[in-house]
Chains A and B, each alone.
Chain A
Amino acid sequence: MKIGVFICHCGSNIAGTVDCAGVARRAAAYPDVVYSTDIMYACAEPGQDAVIAAVKEHGLTGVVVASCTPRMHEPTFRKAVERAGLNRYMFEMANIREHVSWIGKDMEANTNKAAELVRMAAAKLRLNRELKPKSFPVTKRLLVIGGGVAGIQAALDAAEAGLEVIMVEKQPTIGGKMAKLDKTFPTVDCSSCILGPRMVDVAQHPNITLYAYSELEEVSGYVGNFDVKIRKKATCVDWDKCTGCGLCTEKCPSKKSYDRFNEGVGPTTAIIIPFPQAIPKKASIERDYCRMFNQGKCGVCAKVCPTGAVDYAMQDEFVDVKVGGIVAATGYDLVDWTVYGEYGAGRYPDVVTSLQYERMLSASGPTGGHIKRPSDGKEPKNVVFVQCVASRDPSVGRPYCSGFCCMYTAKQAILTKDHIPDSQSYVFYMDIRSPGKGYDEFTRRVQEEYGAKYIRGRVSMIYPKGGKLLVRGADTLMGGQVEVEADLVVLAVGGEAAAGSPALAEKLRISYDGYGFFMEGHPKLKPVETNTAGVFLAGACQGLKDIPSSVAQGSAAAAKAIGLLSRNMLDSDPQIASVSVNRCVGCRKCIEVCPFKAIQEIDMRGLPKAEVIETVCQGCGLCNATCPQGAIQLSHFTDNQILAEVEALCRF
């Protein structure tokens, strides 16, 4: 074998703390290495051309590039060696940036470490074999999990491109958080006027099948061919019969149910249509509040329903579908702010969340768009907004900035003035974070034109006194304490990953961070992809973001999915297991451990043998480590290859 080694400087990223030329000199002495050089930017066009030229000039049969992490540029260089006429798997990478130059300053130690990593890569490369992918057919259908604005965007874009789309929404209606908003920043345009038509489009699009009040039960399979099981939760109303007339919701005698859509601002009935523009506009029963389920008698809704749609005995149903790709767009939830004892922990009715306030502002909300104090129904004059509640606060385990609260608080202060012209808003803030198009101008307008008083400091305590709330806090610009008498306090509560996110991530086999947000494939270059092929992310489930960013991600995820599913056939990854039938003794251990049921038993002239189903194998290598005979080997990560790496390291 003739190996060429290329040590990348990555500008000064690597060369700053690694003697790249020195590494190249040492590498020249490694077994089978016939050519070794250092190079300024291996990944750039001149770098790739240099690699290709060297392959041709020196007749190289394998290439080692020492640069960044293979998780970043392995595909890039594989393509380059392919263009040079080699098989793409006759290539190895040594990670001398993330694992060397960026984590240590000692030039001598770094150079030595880099050289050893190159030796390791070269030793493995000597045992590499040419691998060729097989192709398999793709199911041209996309699953979108979550019907918020990000999911809606992704679904519509994909459906417009001709893909069949399945949308699964946990709640009885799509629309997500945006449907709850009155207006949106920085244009102060009506949220439901923008979102409503998009929701209708989802309902009417011939390519979209909507499963509302449903959840993802199980996922198996792999990119191009996922098998998905959807749980349709029992609504106790036959949606084929329900016309959405709303008679049942008028007559329901259980009028004290928690109104989830309205964030508990005012009660609702046990049988509900969440809001007038709900999609689908169908009724469903909240069993926790229904008299039929709790007292065993009532049946009013069943009696009044003109189409006889109510069915108390309804059970959850399951639907199995095959899809080629999945977009997760599960959004976020508000943090449970009642951990703040100093803000009353929920004891004071006139301390509300921003989302509750949004429902009060909304003309279609429970107060008909009139701002009323929950305690006595009076119109507040002094409204205090407290920002960064459960954002940027390590003491409650939420050290991150939620990103959108500064802007929606400014918007709510403007709306407060619009609703109650003689009102005065106060905003306690830490920093105003408004980096968006027209955002900073917006936060200035609220102060300059609408007269909201911005106080830079945290609120230490909120307590009731004489029918009002006293808000005590610091004014760090003035260097003193302030106390504001408020009629209503609005907490700008931060967001967190939607409940159940980790469980969903585990079903989808994607990673999530310590807060439950899903991990993107690369923070910069793969913002909507995950490390699981065929699974994409959109919206706040990946990290909190506002509506424009969520929509942008929705489109981006759709574009990625369309790209994937536009192909009729996909190439399977050839880094899979294969069985040496001579060594296999038919013990079935590999069949037992395989998480993907990718190994089957075959009969070979009367002897049982294992056989790998190539398109199903995901290449984890569990079987390889299990086989007592070493008969089943994971291509590109064979025992010999890994041991060659161990040996290359432990030789000296």
Chain B
Amino acid sequence: MSVLEGKELRVVGFLCNWCSYGGADTAGVGRFTQPTDLRIIRVPCSGRINPLFVMKALVGGADGVLVSGCHPRDCHYAEGNYYARRRLEVLKGLLPVLGIDPRRFEYTWVSASEGQRWQHVVETFTAQIHALGPAQPFAGASRPADRHRPDAAAV
């Protein structure tokens, strides 16, 4: 479901607070121009990200989902990103089974000092999603707005 019809696609980002969110801030402070499609959700750690969050976004209408955490070895919580890496890699392998183009989901590592790298990540990922075009709505998937709020147990 594109916003600003024809201009933007829906790209959701899950960023860890300590590295990548800071990296995105650094990019902003450096005025590193980026495409406007991405909306960033801040989480404490990439290890906090349940792969089902990504699925919810993709099923709910996101055209692309980007996850970014601290570089391996440099996790603020020592090892959260190692767990994230394993989970997200499995998720990526699972997406085609679910009929979702795996290129709609990427995960990466950007530190708080890497504003330029963040700009590059956003540019490439947004370009990748634009190349894929808008995601096809799921046949039979209920419109998120119609659903009652998913509760934690269902996740």
Contact = CB atoms under 8 A, between A and B. Distances in A.
Decide whether A and B assemble into one complex.
yes
Interface in B8-63: 8, 10, 12, 17-19, 21-22, 24-25, 27-29, 31-36, 39-45, 47-50, 53, 56-57, 60-62
Nearest to A101: B28
A69 B25 contact: yes
Interface residues of B, number: 65
Nearest to A503: B73
A633 B155 CA distance: 12
B145 interface: yes
Nearest to B78: A595
A649 B50 CA distance: 17
B74 A650 contact: no
Contact of B153 (A69, A575, A629): A629
B3 A112 contact: yes
A75 interface: no
Contact of B48 (A120, A595, A620, A640): A620
For chain A, the bracket of interface size reads: 35 or more
Q: How would you classify the secondary structure of chain B's contact residues: helix, strand, loop or mixed?
A: loop
A310 B27 CA distance: 56
Contacts of A102: 28-29, 31
A432 interface: no
B41 A625 contact: no
A451 B91 CA distance: 69
B33 A109 contact: no
A625 B87 contact: yes
B90 interface: no
A534 B31 CA distance: 31
B43 A642 contact: yes
Given A626-B83, A640-B152, A109 B62 contact: no
Contacts of A112: 3-4, 8
Contact of B3 (A116, A511, A633): A116
A619 interface: yes
Interface in A39-76: 69-72
A162 B37 CA distance: 54
B73 A506 contact: yes
**Best-surrounded residue of B50, B60, B79 (most CB of chain A within 10 A):** B50
Given A120-B39, A630-B152, A646-B57, A651 B18 contact: no
Interface string A627-640: 00110011001111
Contacts, number: 191
A530 B80 CA distance: 19
A105 B33 contact: yes
Nearest to A621: B48
B96 interface: no
Interface string A67-98: 00111100000000000000000000001011
Interface string B91-105: 000000000000000
A625 B50 contact: yes
Contacts of A595: 77-80
Given A97-B28, A511-B113, A595-B80, A104 B45 contact: no
Nearest to B31: A102
Contact of A650 (B31, B60, B153): B60
A202 to B, nearest CB: 32
B150 A99 contact: no
A411 to B, nearest CB: 32
Contacts of A620: 44-45, 47-48, 76-77, 80
A639 B50 contact: yes
Given A109-B8, A649-B12, A532 B151 contact: no
Contact of B47 (A106, A514, A622): A622
Interface string A103-114: 111101110110
A509 interface: yes
Nearest to B42: A70
B15 to A, nearest CB: 10
Nearest to B70: A511
A625 B61 contact: no
A225 interface: no
Nearest to A649: B39
**Best-surrounded residue of A117, A502, A639 (most CB of chain B within 10 A):** A639
B99 to A, nearest CB: 17
A575 B17 CA distance: 13
A28 B37 CA distance: 23
B112 A511 contact: yes
A161 B5 CA distance: 62
B132 interface: no
B83 A103 contact: no
A95 B26 CA distance: 13
Nearest to A100: B36
25 contacts: A71-B22, A72-B25, A103-B32, A103-B33, A103-B34, A109-B36, A116-B39, A120-B41, A511-B19, A511-B113, A512-B74, A512-B111, A531-B22, A583-B153, A595-B77, A622-B45, A625-B50, A625-B83, A626-B83, A630-B151, A643-B56, A646-B53, A650-B60, A650-B144, A651-B145
Given A514-B111, A637-B44, 12 more contacts: A69-B25, A71-B17, A72-B25, A505-B74, A595-B77, A621-B80, A622-B77, A625-B47, A637-B43, A642-B43, A647-B60, A650-B144
A-B complex: 10 closest residue pairs judged by Cβ atoms: A98-B28, A621-B48, A630-B152, A650-B60, A620-B77, A513-B113, A622-B47, A109-B36, A102-B28, A620-B45
Interface of A: 69-72, 95, 97-100, 102-106, 108-110, 112-113, 116-117, 120, 502, 505-506, 509, 511-514, 519, 523, 531-532, 575, 583, 593, 595-596, 618-622, 624-626, 629-630, 633-634, 637-640, 642-647, 649-652
